Structure 1
Amino acid sequence: MSGMTIGETLVARLRQRDVTCVFGIPGVHTVELYRGLASSGIRHVTPRHEQGAGFMADGYARVSGKPGVAFVITGPGLTNTLTPMAQARADSIPMLVVSGVNKTASLGKGLGHLHELPDQLGLARTVALESEQISDANDLDAALDRVFHHLTNGRPGPVHIEVPLDIAAAEYQKAPVETPDPEPPVNPALITHAAKHLAEAKSVVILAGGGAKRAEAGLQALAEALDAPVVQTVNARGLMHGHPLTVPASPSLSAVRSLIESADCVLALGTELGPTDYDMYATGQLAEMSDLIRVDRCSDQLARHEASITIEGDVILVVPALFEALPQEAKQRDGAERARKTRNAAWEEIGPDYRHQVEILNAIRSATPKALMVGDSTQPIYAGNLFYDHDRAGGWFNAATGYGALGYGIPAAIGASVADPSARVICIAGDGGAQFSMPEIMAAVDENLPVTFIIWNNHGYREIATSMQDVGVTVIGCDPTPPDFAATAKSFGIPFTSVPAEPQAVAQALRETDAQDGPVMIEIAAPKFEPQKD
């Protein structure tokens, strides 16, 4: 490492930690990071806005299972990335944001330097699990150890490192490396205790959250052994696709709540039991859960809801351990029938409008099997979050729950495609949300990524307009004029087609564009929402 700057060394250290891609926009405050980037073997993808960099890192992390990394400048670069960091915090997505910052001697002085913030480190700490400043060469390795500990142990989320201009350009001097303690093993006594509760119960229900999305095989085996219906939150969709025990429906629906409340033991795997999944209709309370057993990587999360048994650990490890601890003889229960009745009741409950939109999602899934389906806050995504059975574990995700940031879908889909170039990626965004991040499509053009951008165009913010109307507020501000999407696609140099909001038409458009090399745009011309007149 002799003769390398701290900025160059930081990049080399990231590569040693299996970072293979960063999303970033170079600036004068990050030049020293880029000095070492071209020769590092790390791929660089250039978004059009730092918010896009963060959302791309988010989508990349969800698909790859590795931390998504963004390089941003000080000041506006970091503040533009705070929204993606907050979304990642809400959904437990591992994200590393590396920013520049002004020279050390100027920090906190209010001297009017370019991109100056009163306390950039403190600002980042409002959303980051850990925010570190590299103040000299001795800080670098220890700081990386600390932030990567948060990314790979316990419940992940966003972390931040800032490098002052003068430090980034300084020569690196080798410093001792502190290796953090490994994540503690799961307590075997708790496994035995929980397995006994599950074996003795007569009507188990499993709640699977985002923390279970990489535990598909073990989850299916455990569910079958317990004959237990498996309710999946938004971030767990795609687990057990088409299985008789699957309940791919929101636990906020009355039908699903009834299923949960009828259980004599509830096993909650990697789910925070948050209201955007479990109480989206704002009743003020969760479904009653008898003999609740919770498994989560975060001790703080486990303490937030009363439970009979709490097991701190990774669901991927805990689920097989629970299965092995169960008695060998399986009990015959009525799990498949309970799951079937719940699916049927939930399907009726969501109503004809949402059922039609789910039928469009089903048509998309049939036309593009095993695709990654990434969404923004728009009508088909709301419908799918209520009821939709995706065919790929971890292949359905969006920003309509948790932090709920608009503009997420387009850049997150790009990050997902970078993570898995072999996958067909379908991005579903509304005409309103698409306008938050439309320029990011050019990053997909630059990288020649196989992303199909589906724009649900109903000429406005229908969900907000409906909410205003439902409480007697005059609808205003919900009808921003959308661009001409055909002309927009032409300006991007990508194929475009417009189809009606009918399942067969959408599926046909997808089949016709399947052989296209690079990004494609499909507009679904949905009926325009017309508020009721007073």
Structure 2
Amino acid sequence: MTPKTTGEALITLLEAHGVDTVFGIPGVHTIELYRGLAGSSIRHITPRHEQGAAFMADGYARASGKPGVALVITGPGLTNTITAMAQARADSVPMLVISGVNRRDTLGKGLGLLHELSDQRGLMEKVALSSQRIESPAELEPALARAFEMMRAGRPGPVHIEIPTDVMGLPAAGISSWRTTAATRIADAEVIKRAETLIAASKAPLILAGGGARKASLALKQLAEQLDAPVVMTANGRGLLYAHRLAVPASPSLKAVRKLMAEADLVIAVGTEFGPTDYDMYVDGGFVCPPNLIRIDIDAVQLARWPATLAIEADAKAALEALVACRLAQKSARGSERAEVTRDAAWVEIGPDVQAQAKVVEMIRDVFPGSFIVGDSTQPVYAANLYYDHDRAGGWFNAATGYGALGFGPPAAIGAAIAEPGVPVISLSGDGGFQFSFPEIGAAIDAEANVIFVIWNNHGYREIETSMRDAGVEPVGVSPAPPDFCRIADAYNMPAERLVDIADLPGALSRAAALRKPCLIEIMVP
């Protein structure tokens, strides 16, 4: 047999690692990487911008639990992915970005080649967990193995691999198709015993659950019920205990939730980094790290950032299952009462305007149970991050926390729909944010990604305008004129509907769902 080229071997190895979809825009610097794609089992999705490719890979990863893969050209193709990679880094999303780079003998010489960067790897090392260059065909197999192990074994994030154009076409004889498996990081038995002792001594325990607990909903529920402990879920933890008597689906930045935390004699924090956009979003300095704290996190670096009475370095699901296995006695910690009081107080605290915006998200959830609602930085998303209970673990995610990349919602929703075609997917964006990435609706049509794009049109960056007024600053630059989104949808041959009354949203969503194709709904906000 004719030896495969390095580019063809890349596709074979990706298949072996379980990759079924890649997002990318081909160019002259990646043609050889595409040589084996047409004959493979991997589906290629073409976005309208490389940033969209990486955002799609992000949404795909969050929905599927597998790494999302983006394939881009050297130079501008790769730099266009940086924003999305930074969002994935902040939210611990596994993403593999594979790029070209100019031929080896030109690197770092400033020869003025097309798409040349002085130090592409040096740039990517600042945002990715790692950046590797394939200097010879023999390096491809171990590099991919390291990349997938990195994304699966510890705290996940984006990984970059670059392949020089003069390596892509080289013969790659002897490269076999195999995949690595990452062992679950379990908790040390002695550490679990110490945790058991601390828990047994507590009378008013509380659990904080973040995005790192998304795969541990059953064990989390079991432990909470054993301890009679309320569970506060951060934005990325919503859906873990939907409608449960112990659930508190409210932001730890709210005074009511902080009061609950302050009154607890033991806090068990699972997969949460105590980031300010969850715990101090008003930047009032009111968050105080619990004095009696058990932290469970897969990342040792993260555990070192906040002092804890006991740190458990382990996979969240494995650690919670180990604690459940201790069969801790059912407590009389008034957990249901404490949770209910906090829920009621938090709902009142956010006030009527924010309540009304959060109810928009509840409308969407109630029309589409078990859906993915993928948000951008817009008023209903901010509101729901403050208070909202989703009915699917990992089904509510957005870029309005952490890195906060505007334009995330539409492409990430497309990625989620491609990962889980049988699950309803709704993109929720503001008119300002939607203009960052609206051409990606064309990619949704191409890929037949069944996404309903909901646009909250308040004629500009209303949240920023409000913040400027609150700070005594005359608003400037916050009123970009929105286009006629329905006409844009029509130009893409996409069904669209404009609403002037929010009460009409459930009906519009049902009509869109019946079409079983990408649709757009624009809500005109007074």
Give TM-score, length-normalised by structure 1.
0.96
Q: Is the 8 A contact 2:152 2:182 kept in 1?
A: no
Q: Tell me the equivalent position of 1:530.
A: none
Residues 206 and 230 of structure 1 are in contact (CA less than 8 Å); yes or no, is this contact kept in structure 2? yes
Secondary structure at 2:19 match in 1: coil
Q: Distance in 2 between matches of 1:145 and 1:360?
A: 44
Counterpart residue number, 2:278: 277
In 1: Cα distance, 2:367 partner to 2:46 partner: 30
Letter in 2 for 1:284: G
The CA distance in 2 between the partners of 1:520 and 1:79, in whole Å, is 30
Name the Cα RMSD after superposition: 1.5
Whether 2:73 is the aligned partner of 1:49: answer no
Q: Matched residues in 1 for 2:305 and 2:489: separation?
A: 47
The 2-side partners of 1:497 and 1:380 are apart by 19
Q: Which residue of 2 aligns with 1:488?
A: 488
Q: Secondary structure at the match of 2:360?
A: helix
- The residue that corresponds to 2:195 in the other structure is 194
Letter in 1 for 2:317: I
Q: Does 1:308 align with 2:309?
A: yes
Look up the equivalent residue of 1:514 and give its one-letter code. Answer: A
Q: Report whether the alignment pairs 1:506 with 2:505.
A: yes
Checking the alignment, whether the CA contact within 8 Å between 1:291 and 1:308 is kept in structure 2 is: yes
Same amino acid, percent of matched pairs: 55
* Alignment gaps of 5+ in structure 2: none
For the residue of structure 1 that corresponds to 2:70, the secondary structure is strand
Q: Deviations over 1:65-107 (max 9, x none)?
A: 0000000000000000000000000000000000000000000
| Alpha-carbon spacing, 1:182–1:269, altered in 2? closer, same or farther (3 Å) | same
Aligned counterparts, 1:385-424, within 5 A: 385-424=385-424
* 2:69 alignment partner in structure 1: 69
Alignment of 1:11-410 (within 5 A): 11-174=11-174, 182=183, 184-284=185-285, 286-327=287-328, 329-410=329-410
Q: Relative to structure 1, is the Cα distance of residues 115 and 286 closer, same or farther in structure 2, using a 3 angstrom cutoff?
A: same
User: Aligned in 2, Cα 1:442/1:216: closer, same or farther, shift over 3 Å?
Assistant: same
Residues 43-64 of structure 1: per-residue CA shift (max 9 Å, x gap): 1111000000000000000010
Aligned residue type for 2:49: H
**How many angstroms does 1:518 deviate by?**
0.9
How far apart are the structure 1 equivalents of 2:182 and 2:148? 12
CA distance change for structure 1 residues 105 and 183 in 2, over 3 Å: closer, same or farther? Answer: farther
> Aligned equivalents of 1:411 and 1:376: distance in 2?
10
Q: Which stretch shifts more, 417-426 or 361-370?
A: 361-370
Aligned to 2:430: 430
d(CA) in 1 for partners of 2:154 and 2:4? 33
Rounded Cα–Cα distance in structure 2 between residues aligned with 1:333 and 1:178: 47
- Supply the distance in 1 between the matched residues of 2:408 and 2:481 (Cα, whole angstroms): 20
> What is the aligned partner in structure 2 of residue 526 from structure 1?
525
User: How far off its partner does 1:325 sit?
Assistant: 1.2
Deviation at 1:290, TM superposition (A): 3.0
Report the secondary structure of 1:351's partner residue: helix
Offset from partner CA, 1:384-420 (integer Å, 9 cap, x none)? 0000001111100000001000000000000000010
| 2:273 aligned counterpart, secondary structure | coil
Q: How many residues of Structure 1 are paired with residues of Structure 2 in the alignment? A: 525
Checking the alignment, whether the CA contact within 8 Å between 1:201 and 1:264 is kept in structure 2 is: yes
Q: State the match for 1:516 in structure 2.
A: 515
For 1:178 and 1:289, the matched residues in 2 are separated by 42
**Aligned-residue offset at 1:196:** 2.0
Q: Is the contact between residue 186 and residue 318 of structure 2 (CA under 8 Å) also seen in structure 1? A: no
Question: How many angstroms apart in 2 are the aligned matches of 1:179 and 1:454?
Answer: 40
Q: 2 CA distance for matches of 1:454 and 1:181?
A: 38
